[in-house]
Structure 1
Amino acid sequence: MLTAERYITLLNHYAGPVTGEQEEYEVALEDLTALFHCTERNVKLIVRKLQEEELIGWIPGRGRGNRSRIQFLVKREFFLLEFAKRLAQKGEYRYAFEFLHQYEEDKLILEQFIKWLNNQFGMEKLSDDIQARDVFRLPVYKAPLSLDPAELYYGFDSHLVRQMFDRLVQYDSEQEAVVPLIAHHWESNESGTEWTFFLRKGVRFHHGKILTAEDVVFTLERLRTEKMNAWLLSTMEQAEALDARTVKISLRQPNWLFPRLMCSSCASILPSDLGGQNESSYWMLPSGTGPFRMAVWNSNRLELTVNDDYFLGRPYLDGVKLIFLPDNIPNISKLKWEQLIANDSRIPAKAGEDWQRIETLSKGCSLMTWNRNKKGPQQSLSFRQAVNLIIDRIGMIQHSSKSGYPARSFVPQEETELGMFWYDLDAAKQLLEQSGYDGSPFLLVTRDTDADEAEWIQKQCAKIGITMHLRYEERSALTRVETVQEADAMLTCLVFADDEVCELESYLQANSSIYQHLDPGLRKWIFQLTDQILATKSKEKRRALLRQIEYRLRDEAQVLFLIHQKLSTYVHPSVRGLVINNLGWMDFKDIWLTSTNERQLESPVRKMKKSV
């Protein structure tokens, strides 16, 4: 990359943005030493390197006062585009964008690169002497923060964990029942304080170790020890291996929801030997029992390869390549790639008539939480209600780059699409006056990817004289307790992959903004109800208790529900088995490719020397 930067530096300095064919320019070595901030000896080495790469022609000056002459052999636009392609083909996608963003005046080149890159995504047939390999290559705009099940916070990370690991049991949303996974059977005592799980035979980790009860005990003990998701095992007293394939879990109080909790990605089973590595080394390329194993994980991409010996049957795909792209790619360019278009339903998708359309409404919503443990205007109920009434959800949807419906609760209800929402400017002004608001600002913290919504709320608040300051944080910072506690309010998005479990997680996970922002009295009341929920056998009664919590949070304007996001996915007819799961992602193990779509990825038009 250094050679490329030096070539562009020379080109910009002598030729400017436009160069003619085979033009020559006079050069003095002392000028180059200043340009590259190095000695004359190093300048000569740089010139020789550029000549070897066939990027420049160089005619040395002979005699005193005769300057050397330089000729640029590759046009600027062609060089920038081809070098970016080279980086991408080496898997250095982020570097490719960083390289092009240095030359923002060449926007056409960036557009050409994105167009070329879009053609690299989708199903890829790789042929060798033995057999063809089907690899699914797709772009993502957020790299996983953690793949440690005990430290999961974001939905995308949870989805990836499910590709590489398995749980004791899993939840089937169609049957609305817990079904076998690693455990083929489970049972409890009459009081729901002891649960026994019976494990399948022959389940292997990716590094070859047979899964036993020892691995389950190790995982559960590790999970409950100072981990972000330790709340899952808050009622556990002991996990015991009765034999190699039987685990007994003793609880300190009845918990009829325990098998449901074990469906969580956070309860994915790890090998007790960590693949013969220490913790830090293990998480660089973790070994699970899932349908795919990790092959590569770095800042540019994550690659999964098929687990041929998966106990529930080999997946159809041979591999999955996730390419991490920067967020600042224009939205219209993000949406289109050759065999699958995932887009906002308000943006026209150029899909064929025979393409399948999958429309999903997110189970979860975007929301605001108020920090009741910090001094500020948010301590007033009237103030919180005023902000709730000033937020025009319909207007926010129209303003933002997202599509969806106004939210009145955590998950979409039957009336979600009927347009029921709050917005009352006059009532908001009256409530603000009642609150005694003195003009003090409040701080809203969120991610920069939610800037559209945050800025919309800021403008709405300004309409009635409320001053709101914005602070954007990285995804990793939003999982830290100190960040949550510093905010007067937080704008976030919750995805409820497993409704009961995820709702409880919002109240009980120590890092969540809902948990951290509850005042002590409200938190104590919620804890009492969650104990009742765990001890209740009836799903209907558990649901009623959960609604009590949600309604109180809504009535006290502790949580302001905003938008249920809607996503339309268009799938080429050659891609089969694609289903959007509750995490808003596709389960890779069920995807397969018909023979009508065999192709090789496009290669660059011109080959440049590899060392550039």
Structure 2
Amino acid sequence: MKYIEHSKELTLHFRKNSETETTIADLSKLLNCSDRHVKTVVKYLHQQGHIHWAIQNGRGKKPKITVLQSNQEILLKEAKHNIQHGHYKDAFQIIQQFDSQLQADFQQWFEKHLGLSQEHSAELSIDVMRYPFYETKLILDPLYILSRHDAHMVQQIFDRLVEYDNVTHQLLPRIAHHWDSDDGMQWTFYLRKSVRFHNGRELTSNDVKATFERFPLNDPIIKNMKQIYTPSKNIIIFQLTKLDFLFPRYLSNMKTSIVPIEVIEKDEHFKLYPVGCGPYRLVHHDENMVRLDVFPDYYGTRPWLDRVEIIKTPYSIHDETKHPLLLNAPNATWNEVRIKEEGADYITFNCRKNGPIQDKQFRQLISNIVNPSDFCLDVGNEEVAYSFLTERSAMLKSANLHPSSEYFETDVVLRIAAQQIRKDANHEREALLLQAQLALHGIESTVELIDLHQLNDCLYKHYDLFVGGIALSEDRLISILTASQSSKLTLYPCLNNEMKTYVDQQITTIKELRDDTTRWETYFQLESYLKSNHILLFLNHRSHTVFEPQNSPYENIRLDCNGRIDYRKIWKRI
């Protein structure tokens, strides 16, 4: 690539397509290298079509050089070379130097590099999915995942004891082929034989036990566990403290993905290069891309897709490039698909902090001020929320969204914390809207971004209101119950002791019930309690509008609850 730098230097001194006399000695000074090396450079650039080098016959006649490519054209070729060799970050840095037309040319070329394709080599043919995604810091240790993108990747690399099917509302066997309980207090899971991790070692009940022993004691998934027994390498028994008929469904949570404990203990890079037993293994993870290859020894159904390459791209590139599902329809033959995201954005009132928020009437005052419809800025893709569930919000929908117009004379200055998972993935927009609405009614406030990974008891002493949101997993009920008691989210830590007692009692009751209808009815009582006591104020639901081609040969290219395509399910018709 040093020759490319020399070529770019020549474009600064010679006009494109203009034949100019020069000498090796002149070029040696210009390129700051020896005469001998200049001859090598000239020969290479001539052969590659960057320049035309003409030797003139006759004594005293100088050679003539013609630069055939502009500096921008050379940069374009360099960017394409980097893309073809997997150096995506270098390529994207180069194109920032392009003019708008050349950026469009590169964009058009880059799109041909993406999508679903079959690639051939001397030994085999593989089916590859390659697509751009904005660069983000993925957390790939299941225990610490927070975002939907983390959960999506963990789903491909790891497996759990069971998996919840949101269509049939049934638990499906995964690592465990069977489970049972006589009393709802002791649960026995029977593991499949010969399940192997990506490092080749066989998974045993000791790995399952060690996976759950990693959890913090106050985690809602395991805090009801009294003891774990491993009578054999393929049997594990969970003894609970309280009755829980929902317990197996908690084990479908992505955080409960089974890990080989010795890898975590010895390898500090586990969060970047995890080892699971899922259908795909992580083979490449750096500043350029994430690459997943199918795991040939996977115990379950082998995915049709052999490889997935997720190219880390700047937002400017990601917003425009192709994906099997596009954000904008290329033409009228593409179908519009609108997908509602279960979950909601919301405001949590910090009832533990000393100050006016402890007063229910003051919380009600703020609730009356806030107009949730103002938070629905993306017309068509956002709607007012009255619950975590979109269907229930539709049932509770009120036409009387008329916030209070009262103005208050007060010296109170509220501190608002906006949830942030990573840079450019936060609720700052919503927090600033809240601040503006409060200001219209005479209540001053400040807004700060708070990293969700850094939440702790000390932080809760400083903020009055938290603005955040959650997206629910396939098992909506378990996802909501877990969020309602999680110390990693803002709701439960903002409750005072009396409120926590009520929440815990309601969830305990839900776990003792055997049918989902009654469970949901009990949860809705809990949700109503949080709303009527002005602890939780729902803002908006989000939707995703995408476009998919008609008559595509590929099946199951659709967004899941993580807003991503489940690679495990893609296949192609002949």
- The alignment's TM-score, normalised by the length of structure 2, stands at 0.82
**Structure 2 counterpart of 1:478:** 452
Q: What is the alpha-carbon distance in structure 1 between the residues aligned to residue 358 and residue 393 of structure 2?
A: 31
Q: What is the alpha-carbon distance in structure 2 between the residues aligned to residue 383 and residue 71 of structure 1?
A: 78
**Structure 1 counterpart of 2:240:** 251
Q: What is the alpha-carbon distance in structure 1 between the residues aligned to residue 267 and residue 175 of structure 2?
A: 23
Q: Deviations over 1:386-426 (max 9, x none)?
A: 554555444443x348713211111112552896366424x
| Equivalent position amino acid for 1:250 in 2 | Q
**Structure 2 counterpart of 1:585:** 564
**Structure 2 counterpart of 1:166:** 159
By how many angstroms is 1:464 displaced?
3.3
By how many angstroms is 1:250 displaced?
1.0
Label 1:418 to 1:502 Cα distance change in 2 as closer, same or farther (>3 A). closer
**Structure 1 counterpart of 2:410:** 437
Q: Deviations over 1:282-333 (max 9, x none)?
A: 44432222111111112321111112232222111111111222335584x2
**Structure 2 counterpart of 1:574:** 553
Q: 2:389 aligns with which of 404, 411, 417?
A: 411
**Structure 2 counterpart of 1:178:** 171
Q: What is the alpha-carbon distance in structure 2 between the residues aligned to residue 437 and residue 73 of structure 1?
A: 72
Give runs of aligned pairs for residues 208-227 of structure 1, distance below 5 A. 208-222=200-214, 224-225=215-216
By how many angstroms is 1:452 displaced?
4.6
Q: What is the alpha-carbon distance in structure 2 between the residues aligned to residue 326 and residue 231 of structure 1?
A: 37
**Contact 1:145-1:157 at 8 Å conserved across structures:** yes
Q: 1:509 aligns with which of 486, 489, 511?
A: 486
**Structure 1 counterpart of 2:537:** 560
Q: What is the alpha-carbon distance in structure 2 between the residues aligned to residue 76 and residue 491 of structure 1?
A: 48
By how many angstroms is 1:441 displaced?
5.2
Task: Please say which of residues 146-155 and 508-517 is displaced more in the overlay.
Answer: 508-517
By how many angstroms is 1:75 displaced?
1.6
Q: What is the alpha-carbon distance in structure 2 between the residues aligned to residue 384 and residue 52 of structure 1?
A: 77
Q: What is the alpha-carbon distance in structure 1 between the residues aligned to residue 347 and residue 2 of structure 2?
A: 46
Q: Does residue 1:364 correspond to 2:338, yes or no?
A: no
Label 1:94 to 1:369 Cα distance change in 2 as closer, same or farther (>3 A). farther
Q: What is the alpha-carbon distance in structure 1 between the residues aligned to residue 72 and residue 380 of structure 2?
A: 34
Q: 1:315 aligns with which of 303, 312, 326?
A: 303
Label 1:143 to 1:183 Cα distance change in 2 as closer, same or farther (>3 A). same
Label 1:540 to 1:279 Cα distance change in 2 as closer, same or farther (>3 A). farther
Identity over aligned residues, as a percent? 27
Give runs of aligned pairs for residues 230-379 of structure 1, distance below 5 A. 230-274=219-263, 278-329=266-317, 331=319, 333=320, 336-337=322-323, 339-341=324-326, 343=327, 349-353=329-333, 355=334, 357-374=336-353, 378-379=357-358
By how many angstroms is 1:126 displaced?
0.4
Q: What is the alpha-carbon distance in structure 2 between the residues aligned to residue 4 and residue 443 of structure 1?
A: 52
**Contact 2:138-2:149 at 8 Å conserved across structures:** no
**Structure 2 counterpart of 1:97:** 92
Q: How many residues align?
A: 546
Give the SS at the match of 1:549.
helix
By how many angstroms is 1:209 displaced?
1.9
Q: What is the alpha-carbon distance in structure 1 between the residues aligned to residue 500 and residue 396 of structure 2?
A: 33
**Contact 1:578-1:591 at 8 Å conserved across structures:** yes
Q: Which runs of 5+ in 1 are unaligned?
A: 27-39, 59-68, 596-612
Label 1:417 to 1:536 Cα distance change in 2 as closer, same or farther (>3 A). closer
Q: What is the alpha-carbon distance in structure 1 between the residues aligned to residue 11 and residue 468 of structure 2?
A: 46
Label 1:403 to 1:5 Cα distance change in 2 as closer, same or farther (>3 A). farther
**Contact 1:400-1:452 at 8 Å conserved across structures:** no
Q: Deviations over 1:250-304 (max 9, x none)?
A: 11222221101001111111124439x7131444432222111111112321111
**Contact 2:385-2:541 at 8 Å conserved across structures:** yes
Give runs of aligned pairs for residues 129-168 of structure 1, distance below 5 A. 129-168=122-161
Q: What is the alpha-carbon distance in structure 2 between the residues aligned to residue 386 and residue 142 of structure 1?
A: 41
| Equivalent position amino acid for 2:455 in 1 | V
By how many angstroms is 1:536 displaced?
3.2
**Structure 1 counterpart of 2:470:** 494
Task: Please say which of residues 316-325 and 536-545 is displaced more in the overlay.
Answer: 536-545
Task: Please say which of residues 141-150 and 409-418 is displaced more in the overlay.
Answer: 409-418
Give runs of aligned pairs for residues 182-201 of structure 1, distance below 5 A. 182-190=175-183, 192-201=184-193
Superposition RMSD in Å? 3.8
Give the SS at the match of 1:513.
coil
**Structure 2 counterpart of 1:35:** none
Q: Which runs of 5+ in 2 are unaligned?
A: 23-28, 54-63
**Structure 2 counterpart of 1:117:** 110
Q: What is the alpha-carbon distance in structure 1 between the residues aligned to residue 309 and residue 329 of structure 2?
A: 24
Q: What is the alpha-carbon distance in structure 1 between the residues aligned to residue 268 and residue 383 of structure 2?
A: 42
Q: What is the alpha-carbon distance in structure 2 between the residues aligned to residue 231 and residue 415 of structure 1?
A: 26
By how many angstroms is 1:234 displaced?
0.4
Give runs of aligned pairs for residues 394-473 of structure 1, distance below 5 A. 394-397=373-376, 399-400=377-378, 403-414=381-392, 416=394, 420=398, 423-425=401-403, 427=404, 429-430=405-406, 433=408, 437-438=410-411, 440=413, 442-447=415-420, 448-449=424-425, 450-472=427-449
Q: Deviations over 1:571-595 (max 9, x none)?
A: 3312212243222322111102345
Q: What is the alpha-carbon distance in structure 2 between the residues aligned to residue 193 and residue 458 of structure 1?
A: 48
Q: What is the alpha-carbon distance in structure 2 between the residues aligned to residue 366 and residue 82 of structure 1?
A: 45
Label 1:521 to 1:185 Cα distance change in 2 as closer, same or farther (>3 A). same
By how many angstroms is 1:11 displaced?
7.0
Q: What is the alpha-carbon distance in structure 2 between the residues aligned to residue 3 and residue 230 of structure 1?
A: 58
**Structure 2 counterpart of 1:531:** 508
**Structure 1 counterpart of 2:61:** none
Q: What is the alpha-carbon distance in structure 2 between the residues aligned to residue 515 and residue 458 of structure 1?
A: 23
Label 1:579 to 1:423 Cα distance change in 2 as closer, same or farther (>3 A). same
Q: What is the alpha-carbon distance in structure 1 between the residues aligned to residue 536 and residue 342 of structure 2?
A: 17
